[in-house]
Chains A and B, each alone.
Chain A
């Protein structure tokens, strides 16, 4: 469904992505792991068109992304940002129902609010918080509200950018379970970037390790646990010594 071919991106003299190739099949949950600063977020932003790659292509359903194609893609798409990225000026329910209040998926306000509250319930948030503003919520609640926004329009594709960063282990577990549940229940294609191995084991059907601008390794979670690849073993064991330099 999503294919990335030879994606390259440099910022100044620093080559961030150096020919990244990746396939994510329909209904699959793919998790990209890699150390901080290895270009995981840049890869995600290149796929979304938020950052223009220097070379390479992104294909959706076998077709290259055009401007019109990107708009069609975004209409089928939802994303949970690292910091939730809720709009400060809108109450929570309007954040969740953002897509339902404007554009081609527009619904009447009362209906959009009902859907927003249902989605908030789905991620374990009480309807009481619907009229609060993002600044009035804790980090974990903001993440869940962000997740509710991502699924509000029943997307076919979901991206998760560091979904558990900054959360305590219990809340991280809650978010991981929610993501796994939503991905399975909705049958969506999911692409997650993280360096949290708890998330990898909870969310992933397939894992890819991004290192030095290329996809160093790919496989299932079981293959990841069994592999002798020194990059993968160093990463999942969290060792400072190994082929991945601790100084970046």
Chain B
């Protein structure tokens, strides 16, 4: 009976937590839709989320594309299908690995940073100070980060896609002996607009998830260094899991047979 009660309590806690996150998201979107708009904060958030994440997303995409080319070549050799390297690298990067790995890297870098920053503001009364200065924290802190992430992460995914394909091209041409022009032509021939767009839509959703989790856990941070640490950890873990779950759901929607 106690196990059943524990299970029930866990389910109720999960549902209550989900409800709180949904309400927080709605409050964030409401804040986003109504003035005042804090453009300076939006610009700063765009820089932090987008521009400063470029190196980590670019390097991840590059090495993933390069490794993928080797793997597909090696695997394809078992049934004489080495020629599919460019097309499979392109499709895998653009549809799946670019958005997912980009989303996960942004989750690690950005969700943690947002949660730690807002959590520290919470425990040092900076958020209370915002309220006393007639400034709504949802509008000043949350809305700019949500907007910036929804804009910046698809852009990061697009850049990551290009760099990932370049990683595959570099290995394909330098290590596997594929002619450069043939590699690029095969890539272009097999890629469709829908492949690229689906990746960008995924990027926007992942951006929303990452910023939402960072802001939610930061705003609800517990007291002291331990509270901020826990909020940061929760933001990274929950955003990574939600990115993977949302990726599966969107893949079902976009590509289910």
Chain B residues whose C-beta falls within 8 Å of the C-beta of A52 in the assembled complex: none
**B185 in contact (CB, < 8 A):** no
Measured between alpha carbons, how far is A77 from B125 in the docked complex, in Å? 17
Q: Contact check: which of B117, B120, B128, B133 meets A99 at CB < 8 Å? A: B133
Chain B residues whose C-beta falls within 8 Å of the C-beta of A48 in the assembled complex: 128, 131-132
**B38 in contact (CB, < 8 A):** yes
Chain A residues whose C-beta falls within 8 Å of the C-beta of B134 in the assembled complex: 71, 74-75, 99, 103-104
**B180 in contact (CB, < 8 A):** no
Chain A residues whose C-beta falls within 8 Å of the C-beta of B126 in the assembled complex: 85-88
Q: Which residue of A lies closest to B123 (CB)?
A: A83
Residue contact B128 to A102, C-beta cutoff 8 Å: no
**B129 in contact (CB, < 8 A):** yes
Residue contact A85 to B124, C-beta cutoff 8 Å: yes
Contact with B along A38-74 (1 / 0, CB 8 A): 0000000100111000000000000000000001001
Measured between alpha carbons, how far is A48 from B132 in the docked complex, in Å? 8
Q: Contact check: which of B36, B117, B121, B125 meets A103 at CB < 8 Å? A: B36
Chain A residues whose C-beta falls within 8 Å of the C-beta of B13 in the assembled complex: none
**A82 in contact (CB, < 8 A):** yes
Chain A residues whose C-beta falls within 8 Å of the C-beta of B173 in the assembled complex: none
**A217 in contact (CB, < 8 A):** no
Chain A residues whose C-beta falls within 8 Å of the C-beta of B135 in the assembled complex: 98, 102-103
CB distance from B98 to the nearest CB of A (A): 31
Residue contact B132 to A83, C-beta cutoff 8 Å: no
Chain B residues whose C-beta falls within 8 Å of the C-beta of A83 in the assembled complex: 124-125
Q: Contact check: which of A50, A75, A78, A103 meets B131 at CB < 8 Å? A: A50
Measured between alpha carbons, how far is A78 from B129 in the docked complex, in Å? 9
Residue contact A98 to B125, C-beta cutoff 8 Å: no
Q: A49-B131, A75-B134, A81-B129 are in contact. List 20 more A-B contacts (CB 8 A).
A: A48-B132, A50-B131, A74-B132, A74-B133, A77-B132, A78-B132, A81-B125, A82-B125, A83-B124, A85-B124, A85-B129, A87-B126, A88-B120, A89-B117, A98-B133, A99-B134, A102-B38, A103-B134, A149-B133, A159-B132
Q: Residues on B close to A: CB < 8 A?
A: 36, 38, 117, 120-121, 124-126, 128-129, 131-135
Interface CB pairs A-B, < 8 A, 21 = A45-B128, A48-B128, A74-B133, A74-B134, A75-B134, A79-B129, A81-B128, A81-B129, A85-B126, A85-B128, A86-B129, A87-B126, A88-B120, A88-B126, A89-B117, A98-B135, A102-B36, A103-B36, A103-B135, A149-B133, A159-B132
